[in-house]
Amino acid sequence: MGFISQVINGLGLGSIYALVALGYSMVYGIVQLINFAHGDIIMVGAYAMFLLLTLAGAPLWAAVLGSILFCVVAGVFIERVAYRRLINMKAPRISLLITAIGVSIFLQNLSQLLFTSSGRTIPSMFDLGTLEAGSLQVPSGSIINILTSVAMMVGLSFLVNKTKIGKAMRATSEDADAARLMGINTNHSIAFTFGLGSGLAAVGAVLYCNTYPMITPYMGGLLGLKAFVAAVLGGIGSIPGAMLGGYVLGVAESLTKGYISSSFTDAVVFGILILVLLVRPAGLLGRNVSEKV
């Protein structure tokens, strides 16, 4: 496979990381929580797809919409039940972090209980075969991934920068106390952020299932971790950073698979993280905050 196809495949994979990374980044931006349960939302979305397609026999579009909707509700529910009280009582960040790890383990175990630990196969979804342009051969899945992620990104920047809920989100992330005193219901903007992040992770899950139709209760683990790496690499809290981090990671993985060895990809991914952070501790697009003394 040629270099350009490798890059396009990498961008396709990176799109999935990017969509999941956005959720990590937005939630971190608004409540300074590294939501380790976010990766498991991908698993929740994948199983929701599986159930809708196989058991309920829903048409594809309904399964996709249903899975996204289910994840949005799950994200909002998790925030309400597990995090809100901690956030409003200004609990130390470490308590939030441990709670997030707890939620993650809970979700994995719950799914193991419901679906057993053996993997399930998702019926094939959108497959337009391989696209060819001259000597260039690219699987359609990669193109779908890239287009979807770009569309999501455009929609998201628009939402954050131009709408009133976006303004409320930004105000909450800058200074929640002051935002409340300006009439903003910060509980709403935080819940909205969780719902939005989870919805984007569900889109990531749909794309993931389209490319890799095997799902397990633990699929969110490494995938979530890599998306988190993408978010940190790009500069956590930054929306364009999360996208960039995702693409960089995806391309690095794809090129390592193609030119070095497929068993070495994770080492390269995490190696890149270490190198980038050594040079730019706040990530590629993160802002270095230097405290005036």
Partner 1 sequence: MPLLEAKHLGIAFGGLRALEDVNFQLEENQIMGLIGPNGAGKTTVFNLLTQVYQPTEGTIELEGKSIIGKKTYDVTRGGIARTFQNIRLFKDISVLDNVRIAMNYQMKYSALAGILRLPSYWKEERAMTERAMDLLSVFNLQDLAESKARNLPYGQQRKLEIARALAASPKVLLLDEPAAGMNPTETHELMESIQLIRDRFSISILLIEHDMSFVMGICQRLVVLDYGRIIAKGSAEEIRTNPKVIAAYLGGE
Give me the least distance between CB of 184 and partner 1, in Å please: 6
> CB neighbours of 204 closer than 8 A, spacing ≥ 6?
16, 17, 19, 20, 42, 45, 227
C-alpha span between 284 and 275 (Å, rounded): 11
Give me the least distance between CB of 178 and partner 1, in Å please: 4
Judged by beta carbon, residue 168 or residue 239, the one nearer partner 1 is 168
Give me the least distance between CB of 102 and partner 1, in Å please: 28
- The pair of three-digit structure tokens given for residue 178, joined into one six-digit string: 């002051």
Q: Which residues contact partner 1 (rule: CB under 8 A)?
A: 163-165, 167-168, 170-171, 174-175, 177-186
Judged by beta carbon, residue 120 or residue 170, the one nearer partner 1 is 170
Judged by beta carbon, residue 116 or residue 185, the one nearer partner 1 is 185
Give me the least distance between CB of 59 and partner 1, in Å please: 25
Q: Which of 231, 229, 228, 227 is nearest to 242 (CA)?
A: 231
Neighbours of 2 (CB within 10 A): 12
Judged by beta carbon, residue 108 or residue 186, the one nearer partner 1 is 186
Beta-bridge partners for 138: 131
Neighbours of 151 (CB within 10 A): 11
